[in-house]
Amino acid sequence: MRSSRSPVKTHGLTHVALAVRDPQRSLAFYQAVLGVIPVYEQIDFVQAQTPGSRDVLVFERKPRQAGKAGGVVHFGFRLRRPTDIVRALAAIRAAGGTISDHGEFVPGEPYVFFRDPDGYDVEIWYERPTPVDPPSRVRRSVTPRSTRRARAGRRTTGRLR
């Protein structure tokens, strides 16, 4: 059945909430592996975000449910560069994660599956850009305004025309 309405536009899947035994321990693990930054904390709850993205991991103290998939097989983080898999492997080991598998899905697309301290299966992988990936961000110029005006043929002092 096709709807005449357009779909809701989002930033994509942006967070996963995990039942954990110790939110601070989980935060420390994911800080060491992915560099997450806590953006909201309570005694039994931590929300952390990966820098430069909208990815959020939520750690909720629920010891009886910790590590149980509940229908979710694993969750993953996509690398920006394939060579970063080496850093990911080292970070996982250093943080105390358990690597369950790593290799390449196809040449040039490396992956690693690992378990976090609560037993969740997590993947870090690189995938070549797909047709539905958002366009690459273009960096804005950091050239001073006066230099940009001069390049555009405008006066660099006084009021703009």
Per-position DSSP letters for 41-106, written without gaps between them: EETTEEEEE-TTS--EEEEEE-TTTTT--TT---EEEE-SSGGGHHHHHHHHHHHT-EEEEEEESS
Domains and CATH numbers, the chain: 15-134 (3.10.180.10)
Q: What are the phi and psi torsion angles at 60 (to 5°)?
A: -110, 130
Q: What is the pLDDT of residue 8?
A: 65
pTM for the whole structure: 0.74
pLDDT in tens, 57-115: 999 999 999 988 787 888 999 888 899 999 999 999 999 999 999 999 999 999 999 99
Rounded (10°) angle between helices 85-95 and 23-34: 150
Looking at per-residue pLDDT, the higher value among 63 and 159 belongs to: 63
